[in-house]
Amino acid sequence: LNSNVLTVVDQRTAHVTILASERGGRYPDGRSLLITGRELRLLVDPSLSVSIRQEEMPPVEGVLLSHCHEDHMAGLHRFPAVPCSVHELDMPALRSIEGLMTAYGYTGYPAIETRWRRTVLEDFHYRPRPDAKDLRDGEVIELGGGVRTHVVHTPGHTAGHCCLLVEPDSVLYLADVDLSSFGPYYGDAVSSLGEFEQTISKLREIEAGHYVTFHQIGVIEGHAAFIERLNRYAGVIAAREQRLLELLAEPRSLPELVARRIVYRPHDDVPFADPVERRTIAQHLERLVQAGAVTEVEPGRYVAVSR
Ligand SMILES: [Zn+2]
């Protein structure tokens, strides 16, 4: 592919093309993949850049979504007749805009929900795909000529999030296990901190030649470099928990903690910061209480247990 639109170039292995993203994969854009076998060509996570350059792209026989987030399906509207697949746990978010909004979990924040719904529909071109098919953990998709894609269910970011291992290229597509300095995102209603940690352990064991993220980082070569990044990335979870414990040196309620933030910086202008902070902090609080590190001093007020 030689994009007339983008100033950056695609990267390739033998059967995988990592489609360039004008913004270096920075949100709201990201890196989509083309996987080409002798019989089939699949497009993975069509981004905003794919939406722009669709006309110069080769025909594809299928679209795979790693998960249902607005930025990973912003180009899907360009392929209305192409079969599309996602893990069944993310299917409700692809069947309807209501399902997607429920998955984000901004109920209780009607102004945020109304604004975000409009953004998803207008800026990310969301179109429901009630015809989508299931991707299953362990499934192997044969593309012909020995090219195959293994589906690895990696929940946490969303319930149905999947990574893809493409052989024989030894490319592990990490999607939104994005290894960024921001750290793991588990702030949606369908996210899970505990599952994300299990996913990190599971991915640690996969020795691939190339690791590819949807956002900034891009391509990482080899298992050792991947593990180094993964450790730093996982460390953000512990740093958030430490920040929460520091905030709980005095008793605070969940709304007070949300106002202080542990995910975003105080000055970050993120429209959905409050519901994301709330969901994230609630998950950390729950396990800190279970571990006896935090106690509920009166209903709805928490404090760290001094040791
Ligand atoms: Zn995502």
Distance of CA 155 from the midpoint of ligand 1 (Å): 11
C-beta of residue 125 within 8 angstroms of C-beta of residue 77: yes
Distance of CA 100 from the midpoint of ligand 1 (Å): 12
C-beta of residue 201 within 8 angstroms of C-beta of residue 117: no
Distance of CA 189 from the midpoint of ligand 1 (Å): 13
pLDDT in tens, the chain (307 residues): 444 444 567 899 999 999 988 778 899 999 999 999 999 999 999 999 999 988 888 999 999 999 999 999 999 999 999 999 999 999 999 999 999 999 999 988 999 999 999 999 999 999 999 999 999 999 999 999 999 999 999 999 999 999 999 999 999 999 999 999 999 999 999 999 999 999 999 999 999 999 999 998 899 999 999 999 999 999 999 999 999 999 999 999 999 999 999 999 989 999 999 999 999 999 999 999 999 999 999 999 999 998 6
Distance of CA 288 from the midpoint of ligand 1 (Å): 26
Distance of CA 158 from the midpoint of ligand 1 (Å): 7
Distance of CA 195 from the midpoint of ligand 1 (Å): 15
Distance of CA 108 from the midpoint of ligand 1 (Å): 22
In this prediction the pTM is 0.95
In the prediction, which pLDDT does 55 show? 86
Distance of CA 9 from the midpoint of ligand 1 (Å): 24
Distance of CA 147 from the midpoint of ligand 1 (Å): 26
Distance of CA 175 from the midpoint of ligand 1 (Å): 8
